[in-house]
Amino acid sequence: MNVLVIGSGGREHAICLKLKESNNLKSLYTVPKNSVFERFSKNIDLSPDDFEGIKDLCIAEKIDLVVVGPEDPLSAGISDYLISKGINVFGPCLKGAVLESSKQLAKEFMDRNYIPTAKFKVFYDFRCAKKYIAELQKFPVVIKADGLCAGKGVRICNNIDEANTAIEDFMEKRIFKGSGMKVIVEECLKGKECSVLALVDGKRYLLLPVARDHKRLNDGNTGPNTGGMGAVCPVDLSTNDIKKIEEEIITNFMNGIRKERIDYRGVIYFGIMMTEDGPKLLEFNVRFGDPETQAILPLVEDDLLDIFYKVASGKLDREKINLKNKYSVCVVLSAKGYPQNPLKGDEISGLDSIDKDITIFYSGIRIENGRYFTSGGRVLSLVGLGDSVDEARRKVYNNIKKIKFEGMHFRTDIGL
């Protein structure tokens, strides 16, 4: 098969490496232009929002499957467009993609379909939102901008001042533009978080091993929220917890898409809080998590291309995915200033001396004349496997010591 992967971050790097293990892969194409991706794929200079250009590429190169990595092209309708041209796509249609691009629509879907979630209220006017919070006087409270904000549109506010600032930033200053037209004010849930990902072919689902992201910038879960500073997989959930997640969240999601005629084909990511009252759904993502994917996929034994193709064609024919009997730990190295204002252009050294059993996934890196430079907030991640989380951790952290760049930052407690 000829396969096109859209996206050029660490997540897509992990997807590409796994697809390349397949005996069924003929040629791997990627967009957009990226100096890392051109090393292992036919990397084409096309923007992910150039739907027509991507369609032309698919026809010219006889692409059998398109895998869409990021949320932006999905919520702009790339799957609907390519499917209408007869192209197989791994990635949900618009009706599915809104579950990530509108927090309001996601929460309403949860409510209609009996999926446990935090209590919430939607506001269209900043004065109403501020008045509600002043009267509620219950902190912490969670304030979310309705639309896509690259993982930065959620604030956990500990007092009225923080809450008012969030509402001003989202609704008045419009720091996330149209995404702040509405805000969701939500009850703050307590517990441990986990990321549950399932591959869905429209009718059936296949569960991936549960991962845990580490969202805060600094050790001990302190500092601002980020896209994710590291991940561990699998997570120590009990069989009973997994059963509850399947019964109360995944089954209700599957029934919901059936009832609402959403032909969802791709991966669905359930961001779940394990509370004292059972699992509650914080959010949907309609794509793989980053950095969860870098931790999850190296554990998969099966041919991922075969599974993706079956997902895209609505023909999943298995109930379980075969996994290595290992643990994986992924640690992200970020640039100085991330997440607010990451510095770019610093040279990275030491990448050649990394042990053979460690995988490096590149997120924000540019290669020039064989030299590596930072080009984004999350620069790269290192993933190690072990017979225990401790062993995997040790391997990764031993290798991080070898890498250097100006202002390099990472958490030292991933997997602790």
Residue 153 sits in the site that holds ligand GLY (CB under 6 A): no
Considering only 105, 118, 122, 360, the residue that binds ligand AMP (CB under 6 A) is: 118
Q: How many CB atoms lie within 10 A of CB 269?
A: 22
> What residue 227 binds from ligand AMP, ligand GLY, none (CB within 5 to 8 A, per partner kind)?
ligand GLY
Exposed / middle / buried, residue 371 (Cβ in 10 Å: 0-12, 13-18, 19+): exposed
End-to-end CA distance of the chain: 41
> What residue 228 binds from ligand AMP, ligand GLY, none (CB within 5 to 8 A, per partner kind)?
ligand GLY
CB of 280 to ligand AMP, least distance (A): 8
Helix (H) or strand (E) holding 333: strand 327-334
Binding mask 221-250 vs ligand AMP (x if CB under 6 A, - otherwise)? ----x-------------------------
Binding mask 187-226 vs ligand AMP (x if CB under 6 A, - otherwise)? xxx---x---------------------x---------x-
Residue 186 sits in the site that holds ligand AMP (CB under 6 A): yes
SS3 247: helix
CB of 11 to ligand GLY, least distance (A): 7
Residue 328 sits in the site that holds ligand GLY (CB under 6 A): no
CB of 339 to ligand AMP, least distance (A): 12
* Total residues in contact with ligand AMP, by rule CB under 6 A: 15
Interacting residues with ligand GLY between 248 and 287 (CB under 6 A) = 285
Residue 71 sits in the site that holds ligand AMP (CB under 6 A): no
Are the C-beta atoms of 297 and 361 separated by less than 8 Å? no
Are the C-beta atoms of 32 and 8 separated by less than 8 Å? yes
> What residue 154 binds from ligand GLY, ligand AMP, none (CB within 5 to 8 A, per partner kind)?
ligand AMP
Handedness of CA 190, 221, 399, 338 (dihedral sign): positive
> What residue 186 binds from ligand AMP, ligand GLY, none (CB within 5 to 8 A, per partner kind)?
ligand AMP
* Distances in whole angstroms, Cα of residue 34 to Cα of each of 12, 37, 38, 353, 362: 12, 5, 6, 23, 11
Are the C-beta atoms of 184 and 107 separated by less than 8 Å? yes
Q: Of 31, 25, 27, which Cα lies nearest the Cα of 43? A: 31
Q: Which amino acid is located at 205 in the chain?
A: Y
Nearest CB to ligand GLY, comparing residues 59 and 150: 150
Nearest CB to ligand AMP, comparing residues 94 and 118: 118
Residue 283 sits in the site that holds ligand AMP (CB under 6 A): yes
DSSP string over 349-370: B-GGGS-TTEEEEESSEEEETT
Binding mask 175-214 vs ligand GLY (x if CB under 6 A, - otherwise)? --------------------------------------x-
Specify the DSSP class assigned to residue 415. Answer: T
Residue 271 sits in the site that holds ligand AMP (CB under 6 A): yes
Q: Of 188, 206, 187, 186, which Cα lies nearest the Cα of 197? A: 206
Exposed / middle / buried, residue 336 (Cβ in 10 Å: 0-12, 13-18, 19+): middle
Give residues in contact with ligand AMP (CB under 6 A).
118, 142, 144, 154, 156, 186-189, 193, 215, 225, 271, 282-283
Judged by the rule CB under 6 A, the positions of this chain that interact with ligand GLY are 151, 213, 227-228, 285, 289-290, 292
